[in-house]
Amino acid sequence: MSSEVLQLDGVSRTYGAGATAVAALRNVNLTIHAGEFVAVMGPSGSGKSSLLTLAGGLDRATGGEVFVEGTPLGGLSINELARLRRRAVGYVFQDFNLVPTLTAAENVALPRELDGIPARKARRQANDALRLVGIEDLADRFMDQMSGGQQQRVAIARAIVGNRRLILADEPTGALDSATGDGILEVLRGRTEAGAAVVLVTHEARHAGWADRVVFLKDGRIVDEAASQHDPSVLLTGRAH
Amino acid sequence: MSIRHSLLALLQEGPRYGYQLRGEFEERTGSTWPLNIGQVYTTLDRLERDGLVEKEGDDGEGHVVYTITDAGRTEVTDWFAQPVAATNPPRNELAIKLALALTLDGVDVAAVVQAQRTASMRQLQDYTRQRRAAATSADAAPAAQGGPKANDAAWLLVLDSLIFTAEAEVRWLDHCEGWMAQRAVRAGKQRTAVAERQAAEHPAAAAAGTRAVSK
């Protein structure tokens, strides 16, 4: 399997036509590999959310092509696109988007069951996913019995259940206090170390600091990118151990 | 940074010589602000002159050992009790650079902002990576050895301070960019309004002006 989990190849997205056309993304090139954590930053209206919806196959590019695990999304029918999303792509939102009348495990199992997986197997996969985000002991809790941080962990478990390798997170720490937010970033970081690719849209520089690469968007274009130094010996403060 | 008070505070734990003080200072602050040994001894001389430390003699290996006096202990207590004075903002090269870029012709301020933001972001990523590694190693300290050490916690706290400072810089740069964009829009609207008013008041002159420009 290719290590390229997500590839945007000259992607544009224009809303409307003629004189009133608005370009949300203009000729964006971006490749994200397995095990990579990429943050997308930029002012309001810079195209961050458009990038995420195109990457997740929730919207279609008006130019260029989006590839998820090597599959070009442009040629897929609506049903094929939905199937690919369920198999490969997990979304995490600021407001969690969990079903309040279901338990944590039921919320996580739901996308698997919708995909035709037998209930017991789906439940087993849900428990695995909950264990990976550190809350397997809360599997039978309802949402109103959980803190915001715990609910966001359920949402991440739902995003990764069934070994989906592309996690798209839209301001996932926005509703959480600073320490709880760091816990969520730690979970996302841990998923990349297990081989997933994570795209985090955020306006918080400190959260983007968790990423391997930070992409800056402006007016629908990538204007710059900051890549972290991977070699610990060249880090700025030389603490002796 | 008060080296004077830092060394005095460390001497509260017991008599030390210069190299020991430097080692302990750097251990607790992750070598973020390295001290040279000359600085340490100069500071110790001044502390002795001011009656805050005394020479206790030799440790047998040729190191001069210093001990804190009662006046020194009072000085340390006062230091911790007083907030750090921030009456004079520290000189900030970035703020100075942007202020000049904004007021001089021919400087691409947006490019200055973006270049700095990328550099600050990279620094933030590196600090975050180090913070995570330090937290992991502190958590992994075996309980048999007393678990995480106070010095590990001190180092995490210093890293957090660097992280929040770098974050503040990126946020400030975001703010500068947004503010400049709004200002450019306002200036554009004002120019349009002035042109329209002139056209309304002096249609012939405005038309002549347009013709003059179009020539």
* Residue pLDDT, tens place only, A138-173: 999 999 999 988 999 999 999 988 888 899 999 888
CB nearest B122 (choices: A210, A223, A226) = A226
Phi, psi of A21 (to 5 degrees): -65, 140
Q: DSSP secondary-structure letter at A32? A: E
Domain that holds residue A82: 4-228
What residue ranges of chain A have pLDDT lower than 70? Answer: 1-2, 229-241
B61 and B164 housed in the same domain: no
The answer as to whether B87 is a domain residue is no
B68 and B105 housed in the same domain: no
Q: Which residue has the tokens 């400087």?
A: B107
B210 and B127 housed in the same domain: yes
B135 and B204 housed in the same domain: yes
Domain that holds residue B45: 3-81
The answer as to whether B86 is a domain residue is no
Residue B56, CA distances (Å) to A186, B40, B63, B182, B213 in order: 49, 17, 10, 65, 86
CATH of residue A158's domain is: 3.40.50.300
B132 and B161 housed in the same domain: yes
B101 and B173 housed in the same domain: yes
B122 and B194 housed in the same domain: yes
Question: Could you count the other beta carbons within 10 Å of the beta carbon of residue B176?
Answer: 19
B62 and B161 housed in the same domain: no
Identity at B52, one-letter amino acid code = L
Grouped pLDDT means (10 residues each) for chain B, 215 residues: 88 93 88 88 95 90 92 94 76 88 88 92 93 83 62 86 93 89 83 86 65 45
Q: DSSP secondary-structure letter at A136? A: G
CA dihedral A101, A104, A110, A111 (to 10 degrees): 130
Strand partners, A96: none
B99 and B165 housed in the same domain: yes
Q: Which residues of B touch A228 (CB under 8 A)?
A: 122, 125-126, 129
ipTM of the complex: 0.78
B149 and B103 housed in the same domain: yes
Contact A208 B121 (CB under 8 A): yes
B125 touching chain A per CB within 8 A:
yes
Task: Indicate the pairing of strand A197-201 with strand A37-41.
Answer: parallel
3 state SS of A14 = strand
Number of domains into which chain A is organized:
1
Contact A209 B132 (CB under 8 A): no
Q: Which residue of A has its CA nearest to B124?
A: A209
B9 and B104 housed in the same domain: no
The answer as to whether B23 is a domain residue is yes
> What is the per-residue pLDDT across B88-141, written as a single tens digit (0 to 9) for each?
677 788 888 988 988 888 889 889 999 999 999 999 999 999 999 888 877 777
Distance CA B127, CA B124 (A): 5
CA distance B74 to chain A (A): 31
Q: Which of B50, B81, B112 is the last residue of a domain?
A: B81
**pLDDT averaged over every residue in chain B:** 85
Q: Which residue has the tokens 């800056």?
A: A216
Burial label, B44 (beta-carbon count in 10 A; 0-12, 13-18, 19+): buried
**E strand residue ranges, chain B:** 16-17, 53-58, 64-68
